[in-house]
Amino acid sequence: MKKHFGSECAAYQMEHMVSKLREREFRIAPQRMAVLRVLAASEGHYFVQAVYKIVRREFPTTGIATIYETVNFLKKLNEVLEIAIFGGSKWYDGHKPIAHPHVRDVAKNRRTK
C-alpha cells in the first residue's frame, strides 16, 4: 500500500476533512489529526485496526474508540468510504471517498489440487 503523505491531493483531502469536522464542532485532537493523515494519504483501504496500529506509533496512548469515533463521524459526513467485504469486515478509504469499483482476483484465491 503506497502512502503519499506529502502529495498535494492528500494535503487537499486532509484540509477538506478538517474543515468539515470544524464546521460540526468536532474536537480535533492530535490523535484525530493522525487518523485523518492516514486516511487522506492512503491509496489503499484500511481496516480500523490498521489505522489504530499506525496512529499508535505516534500516539501510544490512543484508544481504539478514538479511531472508531473519528472514522464513523467522517463516514457520516461522506468523507470516508466504507467498503463492506466478505465476512462482515469493513475497509475505509479516505483518499478517494466516492464510490469506485473494487475487483477481487478470485483466481489467486483458488485452491489447487
Compute CA distances 62 → 17, 23, 32, 55, 57, whole Å: 20, 24, 9, 7, 9
- Domain segments of the chain as ranges: 8-109
Cα-Cα-Cα-Cα dihedral of 39, 43, 47, 52, to 10°?
A: -40
Report yes or no: 89 and 99 within 8 Å, Cβ to Cβ: no
Q: What is the phi/psi pair of residue 80, to 5°?
A: -135, 135
pTM, entire model: 0.70
Pick 8-109's CATH classification: 3.30.465.10, 1.10.10.10, 3.30.230.10, 3.30.70.120.
1.10.10.10
- Cα 7 to Cα 30: distance, rounded to the nearest angstrom: 20
pLDDT digits (tens, 9 = 90+) for 27-67: 889 999 999 999 888 777 778 899 999 999 999 999 999 99
State the CB neighbour count (10 A cutoff) for residue 53.
Answer: 13
Per-residue pLDDT at 4: 43
